[in-house]
């Protein structure tokens, strides 16, 4: 048991350090570089982008990978092996397993929705809030504890974010950087895809931090205090904060 505690501590350490690396670069791209990049002329971009972006994207994507892998390990160790995913009087069922599988299927559902049916940002915003509350309600109905469905919503966000990094943002940025290096105009579709998915990740990251940290507090185990609606409001509050920071980031002046 002591050995498992040591392993858990080490994986938490790796998880947090990798998460800081990943999310820190995500905020750099969205709140710093997005305002700086348009100030460069074509020749400056041709010199700066091929030197800066591959280095930043290297740490960005591997930070995402290590955060996700260690997060899944901690989910298995703490919540499934530790027995805190379900309410004390609940037992594992097919419905529970289906809900867990949904966490890992979620990136493909998300990708389908935002590649086709959901185009307008306002519609995506509203759909995200509704789907987050619905997902938590389903977890609660199938016997998951507050800690259980809070961590699984966080895991859903984190899995979608990692998917975006490796399968949408990184491939698109690789093409964008190569075109810029060759003095060519990047494909606007790739620019739009990388920018949109990066913004989505930024929005998901803020409530994700709350879901990962606060569900460990003792009061969080009491469903009388919390519930899907309350956590849905936390998601809404987090997204409002991100919107405000985006607005503020555009107004930060250079020297």
For residue range 149-188, what is the model confidence (pLDDT) as tens digits? 999 999 999 999 999 999 999 999 999 999 999 999 999 9
Which residues lie across from 86 on neighbouring strands?
144
Over residues 77-132, the pLDDT tens digits come to 999 999 999 998 889 999 999 999 999 999 999 999 888 776 677 778 888 899 99
Q: How confident is the model at residue 241 (pLDDT cuts 50, 70, 90)?
A: very high
Question: Cα separation of 33 and 35, whole Å?
Answer: 5
pTM (2 d.p.): 0.95
Which residues form the domain of 134?
2-249
Specify if 48 maps to a domain: yes
Distances (CA, A) of 226 to 131, 214, 247: 18, 11, 31
Specify if 130 maps to a domain: yes
The values of phi and psi at residue 155, to 5°, are -65, -35
Tell which residue, 58, 70, 55, 57, has the closest CA to residue 18.
Answer: 70
What CA dihedral angle connects 163, 169, 175 and 181, to 10 degrees?
-140
Over residues 30-85, the pLDDT tens digits come to 999 999 999 999 999 999 999 999 999 999 999 999 999 999 999 999 999 999 99
pLDDT of residue 93: 95
Specify if 50 maps to a domain: yes
Specify if 254 maps to a domain: no
Question: 103-128 burial by CB neighbour count: b if 16+ within 10 A, else e?
Answer: beebbeebbebbeeebeeeeebeeeb
Number of domains in the chain: 1
């Amino acid at each position: 048991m002591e050995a498992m505690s040591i392993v858990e501590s080490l994986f938490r350490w790796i998880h947090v350090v990798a998460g800081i690396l990943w999310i820190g670069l995500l905020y750099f791209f969205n709140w710093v570089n997005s305002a700086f990049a348009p100030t460069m002329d074509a020749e400056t971009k041709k010199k700066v982008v091929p030197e800066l972006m591959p280095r930043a994207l290297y740490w960005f994507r591997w930070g995402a990978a290590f955060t996700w892998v260690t997060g899944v390990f901690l989910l298995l160790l703490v919540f499934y092996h530790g027995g805190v995913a379900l309410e004390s009087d609940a037992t594992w069922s097919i419905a529970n397993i289906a809900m867990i599988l949904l966490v890992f299927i979620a990136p493909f559902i998300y990708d389908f929705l935002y590649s086709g049916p959901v185009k307008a940002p306002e519609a995506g915003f509203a759909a995200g809030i509704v789907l987050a509350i619905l997902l938590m309600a389903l977890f609660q109905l199938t016997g998951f504890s507050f800690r259980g469905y809070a961590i699984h919503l966080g895991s859903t966000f984190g899995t979608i974010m990692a998917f975006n990094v490796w399968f949408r943002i990184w491939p698109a940025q690789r093409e964008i950087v190569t075109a810029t290096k060759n003095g060519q105009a990047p494909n606007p579709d790739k620019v739009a895809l990388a920018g949109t998915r990066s913004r989505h990740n930024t929005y998901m990251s803020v409530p994700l931090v709350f879901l990962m940290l606060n569900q460990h507090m003792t009061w969080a185990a009491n469903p009388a205090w919390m519930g899907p609606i309350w956590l849905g409001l936390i998601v809404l509050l987090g997204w409002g904060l991100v919107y405000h920071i985006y607005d503020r980031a555009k107004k930060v002046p250079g020297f």
